[in-house]
Amino acid sequence: MLLTMHILVIEDDPRLAALLAQLLAGERHVVDVASTGHDGLDLAVTGVDAIVLDVGLPDISGLEVARRIRRAGNAVPILFLTARDAVSDRVTGLDAGADDYLVKPFAFEELVARLRSITRRPAAPPTALLACGPIALDDVRRTASVDGRSVDLSPREFALLEALMRHPDQVLTRSQLLDHAWPFGVAVTPNSVDAYVAFLRRKLGPAARRLETVRGVGFRLRAEVADA
């Protein structure tokens, strides 16, 4: 059983919302329900422990709700609910800021297991400023910069860079990076890491020379390298 939590369900289907609220309350959780994205955003600022968020909402999409929550610096765990199961849909949801993704119809036991997974991940430390040469990362505000210039990173790009910056000069395997940057159970391949590393390199500019490929193993971020 999950520890008692305050869970926000943002779902416009009244029957499903009521059922989820009933079942989660039966697990001894406090549950709030919102039927629109705007109402969900209002409730998200009240300090909930997790959000179950439907992608298809009547006013603004669940994707936009997640983006706004993340832009506000709120790192609350988000579990997306959707009827779409294409890989591209899952990637879009994760890049919008979701921690995990559940396709309808689903078993309640799986929803509980996924909530348990995303809420047991360690929270960011109070001070989480990372630096590697000109690259700076604020893990609390979820911002990145190079030479003081703000760099707009997707959640997956940010997670990959964070893992590499927390282990400078250490080779991280593709499997390690997958475990850090993608939720448990999401169908991705090691090639996904290579694709997102390529995205990162383009955004880092000249500082990307610090990000090395170790053939047959993974990637390493050099703490010391000539940037000139």
- Each residue of 104-144: pLDDT tens digit? 888 999 998 888 888 875 544 444 588 888 999 887 778 89
Does the predicted TM-score (pTM) go above 0.85? no
Identify the residue whose tokens are 């709120």. 74
Average pLDDT over residues 34-53: 89
List C-alpha distances in Å: 146 to 48, 69, 167, 202.
33, 24, 18, 12
Show Cβ contacts of residue 105 under 8 Å, excluding neighbours closer than 6 positions: none
Q: Which residues are paired to 130 by β-bridges?
A: 137
Given the candidates 3.40.50.720, 1.10.10.10, 3.30.420.40, 1.10.287.130, the CATH classification of the domain at 129-221 is 1.10.10.10
Location of each CATH 3.40.50.2300 domain in the chain: 6-119
